[in-house]
Amino acid sequence: MFSIINSLPAGLLPKWMFIVGLTAVFNTVQSFLTPKLTKRVYSNTNEVNGLQGRTFGIWTLTSAVVRLYGAFHLNDPHVYFLCQATYYIACLHFLLEWMAFRTTAMGPGLASPIIVSTMSIVWMALQKDAYVGKLASY
């Protein structure tokens, strides 16, 4: 594991992205095993079932793949954009479920992904020039 972490680009952001990606893989696995943790996120609804949990798991796995790949390739402006977009999409999803659709209530199950996505969006915005420099055209 340490050799993988040591092969990441310099700085804390790639390491953060790697940890968030691994956490998403864990969340994917648990989504396929049981909807228990997914029900903690969508706490105001009875709509969480096995199918919805697995669908959420696939969405989480897709984000994990992008973020894990991105952790190693943050110097590519297109990859950087895609990684940052995964956090925007996650944040928008959770905020809409909370404020518009009311399928969730503020608590640990919701606060965690909102904090992680918001922190990652801001961090990536602040660090963009350090990783992609002036090459970015988006």
| Domain boundaries defined on the chain | 12-129
Residue pLDDT, tens place only, 101-118: 999 899 888 999 999 999
Percent of the chain predicted with pLDDT > 70: 94
Burial 20-40, CB ≥16 within 10 A → b, else e: bbeebbebbebbeeebebbbe
Pairwise CA distance, residues 16 & 68, whole Å? 10
pLDDT in tens, 61-99: 999 999 999 999 999 999 999 999 999 999 999 999 999
